[in-house]
């Protein structure tokens, strides 16, 4: 009979992503995760097999959460320019999924995660374009909005004053 997990994988994954955010991927080890979660290092080895598998699982779980948040934001945002703005604001809200984004996308050596990131970017751009009326011009505006939004998300923590998303949507959709 298997022993009951005391700490769910989702909590372990969240802690691993916090470690990556604070100190980078090299800070993640079985011993460090064991200290942070209270689990024994051998338990983590048994669960994940390798450090790389543990990190991959944590990042994959982060992508799953971000994809679920994207689906919810798509469902809530109306199909107009204000909806494009609302959609991006929802994705950029102070949620663990949004906070993870720069770390989820920081290392594209893993082809599975790189493919997942590309599919997510395409999904977001398609959702924005749909809200901007569809067509080639809307697709181009969506790609520009996505890039500007991601740049803003990247540089905000450094204290850079960003543009207003509302203004960018207005300029590109008008």
Q: What is the pLDDT of residues 13-48, one digit of tens each?
A: 989 988 988 888 888 999 999 999 989 999 999 989
pLDDT at 113: 81
142/84 Cα distance (integer angstroms): 9
Q: What pLDDT was estimated at residue 16?
A: 92
Would you state the pLDDT for residue 33? 94
Round to whole Å and give the CA distance between 168 and 171. Answer: 5
For the stretch 134-145, pLDDT in tens is 889 999 999 988
Measure the CA–CA gap between 170 and 100, rounded to whole angstroms: 28
Cβ(147)–Cβ(128) under 8 Å?
Answer: no
Q: How far apart are CA 20 and CA 62, in angstroms?
A: 12
Q: What is the pLDDT of residue 1?
A: 41
Q: Quote the pLDDT of residue 23.
A: 85
Of 50, 53, 51, 49, nearest in space to 61 by CA: 53
Examine the pLDDT at 172 and tell me if it is beyond 80: no
| Average pLDDT score over residue span 47-60 | 90
**Half-sphere exposure for 100 (CA within 13 Å, toward CB):** 23
Give pLDDT, residue 99: 56
Query: Kindly report the CA angle at 104 between 103 and 105, in degrees rounded to 5?
Result: 90
Cα–chain center distance at 51: 21
């Amino acid at each position: 009979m298997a022993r009951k997990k005391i700490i769910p994988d989702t909590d372990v994954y969240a802690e691993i992503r916090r470690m990556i955010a604070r100190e980078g991927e090299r800070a993640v080890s079985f011993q460090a995760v064991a200290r942070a979660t209270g689990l024994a290092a051998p338990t983590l080895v048994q669960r994940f097999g390798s450090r790389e598998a543990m990190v991959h699982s944590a990042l994959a779980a982060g992508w799953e959460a971000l994809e679920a948040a994207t689906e919810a934001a798509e469902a809530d945002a109306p199909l107009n320019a204000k909806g494009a703005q609302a959609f991006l604001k929802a994705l950029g809200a102070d949620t663990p999924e949004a906070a993870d984004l720069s770390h989820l996308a920081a290392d594209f050596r893993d082809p599975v995660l790189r493919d997942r990131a590309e599919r997510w970017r395409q999904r977001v751009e398609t959702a924005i374009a749909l809200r901007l009326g569809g067509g080639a011009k809307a697709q181009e505006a969506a790609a520009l909005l996505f890039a500007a939004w991601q740049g803003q998300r990247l540089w905000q923590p450094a204290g850079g004053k960003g543009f207003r998303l509302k203004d960018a949507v207005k300029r590109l959709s008008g």
